[in-house]
Structure 1
Amino acid sequence: MSVHDAAVPESAVRVVRLGAHIGARIDGVRLGGDLDTRSVATIRAALNEHKVIFFRGQQHLTEDGQYEFAQLLGNPTTPHPTVTSTGAKSLAIDSHQTRSNVWHTDVTFVDRVPQASILRAVALPSYGGSTTWASTVAAYNALPEPLKRLAESLRARHSNRYDYADEIANRSADTDRDYRREFESSYFETEHPVVEVHPVTGERALLLGCFVKQIVGVSSSESQALFRLFQDRVTRLEHTTRWNWSLGDVAIWDNRATQHYAIDDYDGGEHRRLTRITLGGPVPVGVDGTASTVIAGDAEPYSAPLGRAA
């Protein structure tokens, strides 16, 4: 039985589909650490099927409440491997520090890629600032068979010192330089399969995004061509969903089946701040059963649950 055929447990929660390949809004739930087990099961099933799910009207959530809810879904990691967080439990995504207007899957430069991320809107610009997600499962499924086989045979090195970040423009040079310096303060590099097998659903997904440094075994120009060939499949509009934020909104996405892009379409005087909690995940495994391998860096302090870091 496929994930799409799986029965969603009965509860008061209502799942509203937003697109054929990705996205659903969930109504009738108040998120928090006291959420009942049936509602949690419904949320899990919806996340497995729709890849990213959205909740309106969660203004009651604090950082602690967001963290307590996250614990119902998995083991939260520390906020980030390199970026300092003002909060002990979540990472601030703040436009005063940086704007992540590139397609990416969170923290793929470590071996244990987070299984999911939970994002809460704290401050928003008066216009713009939406986020788009893409299904990497739909992207793989849309490939013709010869390209599927090619992708399955490839591996890629991901790093937190990545060339594609040069595409980010029109930001304060000093702010960007300081953030980039902190982001790269400890070097991480991991070799991942280009096609990973989802450990829960069994679906195959393209594991790419802006942290890709090099496709293994080919020249730099060939690597760029292969990256663009497969990355462009991910970002086809048919494989995406876009969310226009309101204060208190919460988004949860399956980090093993998506990429996302925060749209930088608001002026510098506007402020956008969201808080993110990531849930620890296993090491990705390719179609041939070969797992990802660490090239540089020790991500154990990040990947271990809070309070258990080395």
Structure 2
Amino acid sequence: MHVEHLTPSIGSEIGGIDLSDARQVEIHAPRLRELLAERQVIFFRDQELSPAAQVRVARVFGKVEPVSSTFPSHPDDPHVELLITQGTQTGTDIWHADLTWQATPPAGACLYAVEVPQTGGDTMWASMTTAYASLGKDLQAHLKGLRAVHNWEAPALRDNVLRRDPSGELYRATRQKHVPIEQPVVLEHPVTGQPVAFVNALYTTHVLGVSQDEGASLIAFLSGLAKVPEWQVRFRWRKGSVAVWDNLATQHYAVNDYYPAPRRMHRVAIRR
């Protein structure tokens, strides 16, 4: 196994390992966990993964549970989400972390490229630990005492649910199950202990304990930190590529520039 760092702060590509080989994955599992904690997103090329093999890879990094997002699950495995798009109404072309509207958001994710456009459809990740570290000490101290509300009902995701079930029954059930919840504005990472700017433009609706104007400014400022190139990595997908990322330490953005080419990805959420 060999490792190539793609930027100074985030992202490494790993070669020389066949993720479909359970023995290889077991041998390298401790080092893979170390790399994910250190580099926040790791990439693999030229893999062939069945749904069961992808779930096995995800389990290297934590627990795996059945799909609980707004995307459908794979018919052969309830742990695998199907992300099938053609570059329209994806809802993921906004900087965000996955499922921060859940009481315990996923610690990470494993994404496998089944079918990708010939060009376009890249994904970008940003280190929100590096982003937080860039802030002044006074602002850091102020932010650590704040909490914010997160809600799943981003317009594109709400529309996605309504397309899946035009009757509105699924929407009403999802809305009842997932009410808006509070999250810390600064999250202490459970593995590294590093503070993370835990606010994103897709799901964070308002900040508690401050005025509406100040809260809106804080959300815009903190979520905007993901846009800084110095703490980003951009990955060009090929069929068979795999990305595993730390969902608590990073935000990501699926570049929406490939219409009308099809894009099919399989994702498994990783829990602590």
TM-score by length of 2: 0.88
Instruction: Quote the residue 2:36 is aligned against.
Output: 47
SS across alignment from 2:237: coil
Query: Counterpart of 1:159?
Result: 151
- The answer as to 2:61 corresponding to 1:73 is yes
In the alignment, the residues of structure 2 paired with residue 222 and residue 67 of structure 1 have an alpha-carbon distance, to the nearest angstrom, of: 42
User: Alpha-carbon deviations, 1:262-287, whole Å to 9, x = none?
Assistant: 000112x2101100001113xxxxxx
Deviation at 1:151, TM superposition (A): 1.6
Q: Distance in 2 between matches of 1:36 and 1:134?
A: 26
More moved, 65-74 vs 45-54 = 65-74
Matching residue of 1:16: 4
**CA distance in 2: counterparts of 1:235 and 1:48, whole angstroms:** 22
Q: How big is the alpha-carbon RMSD for the aligned residues of Structure 1 and Structure 2?
A: 2.2
Q: Deviations over 1:240-263 (max 9, x none)?
A: 100000000000000110000000
State the 1:176 CA deviation.
7.9
Relative to the length of structure 1, the TM-score reads 0.78
1:37 to 26, 36, 45: 26
Gaps of 5+ in 1: 1-12, 169-173, 282-310
Q: 1:90 aligns with which of 71, 76, 80?
A: 80
Structure 1 position 178, deviation (Å): 1.4
d(CA) in 2 for partners of 1:73 and 1:159?
A: 26
Residue pair 2:161, 2:171 contacting (<8 A) in 1 also? no
In structure 2, the residue matched to 1:193 is 184
- Trace 1:137-156 onto structure 2 (pairs within 5 A): 137-156=129-148
Q: Percent of counterpart pairs with the same letter? A: 31
Check conservation: 1:82, 1:185, Cα contact below 8 A.
no
CA distance in 2, matches of 1:25, 1:184: 41
Task: Classify 1:239/1:185 alpha carbon distance in 2 versus 1 (closer, same or farther; 3 Å).
Answer: farther
Equivalent positions of 1:1-310 (< 5 A) are: 13-32=1-20, 33-58=22-47, 60-87=48-75, 88-96=78-86, 98-99=89-90, 100-162=92-154, 165=155, 177-178=162-163, 182=170, 185-187=173-175, 188=178, 189-209=180-200, 210-267=202-259, 269-281=260-272
**Hey, what's the Cα distance between the residues in 2 that align with 1:27 and 1:228?**
38
Normalized per residue, which structure has more strand?
2
**How many residues were matched structurally?**
260
Question: Residue 125 of structure 1: CA displacement?
Answer: 1.2
